[in-house]
Structure 1
């Protein structure tokens, strides 16, 4: 979903993370890794630039620095001019069923801040970073978004490839748009009056069950192949 264009200063949500399932028949010839991946993220648009920031399904490293053979945890990323990841360290890994707070907030002229943390009173895992987002200038109308997606490697700009990959069990418990700065920012629920549903490629692939529309709360299951 995407917000209207306005002088929004950020988006904040609480999400229970879903469980990915890969399509074992769609593997790369090069490294035998799945050609589909998964992400749950926020971001925005100002001027002609789009920014993505949130969690992607990723490889992890163990205490000895050995890389996992498969992607097995949700890890922070942000994409501005380049793609960037949080360090491969256990304090920055989240797992299916974990509930996290995610925020993308204007941090100054041409700057955004990504914050991801356990959605608990005293979070043990917290990641935050400020990064360049040059078009997010003062008084520039901007749009914020919230996305649950299956991504296909090497397929940008092409038709979606058939896949049985899916990610199920995700639930947004609330989503808030911010207007204003700091402690004085107004918090407005991202309800139907402030958003556009952008389900691509079809509503059969992304099944949304509203749980509390006034809070911007809903369950989201994403299927590469729609369930009958």
Structure 2
């Protein structure tokens, strides 16, 4: 199926933009198909001992660049870095709508990369033993089943902040919490949609009409 080839075909072109493919779905919508692509920043360039530096959110321009590259790959017209020989039209003659965006705040965090990307953010965690806590992610170490996060539960007027180490393998649910302000930060860099602002919610939609050559 063409769908099975889309993910591998996007890997190298997105890498040339410093991005990775986070998720891909292709669903029918009447006579069309909707191709939804989530892209995220590639963290492979971080130093091995860099466990806690902030990761910049994707900008609208970066999402727009990703949209152009993904569309060109799907239509067999991409000839930039990471191009794989002769272009192949992966979508065929059936028209489609392309939606490219970055992961939104409502997307559950899964795995070390997702937690590393959200260092500095407040996250609601549910653990395998049934306990839960809302804490700020301070750092992430390791990978796979050995990944661990250092988190801090914010203090109150009556209780001090407390730090915990959480094995990510024990996390059954994790979601970023909306913060209008971040304690101690003048200027409130985290708006109601997180540090990404509207960038995470905005999508670059590319309508592909069946005009004989997309």
Shared fold per TM-score greater than 0.5: no
Q: Which has the higher helix share?
A: 2
For the pair shown, which has the larger CA radius of gyration, 1 or 2? Answer: 2
Which structure is higher in RCO with an 8 Å CA cutoff and minimum separation 6?
Answer: 1
Q: Which structure shows the higher strand fraction?
A: 1
Give the TM-score normalised by structure 1. 0.26
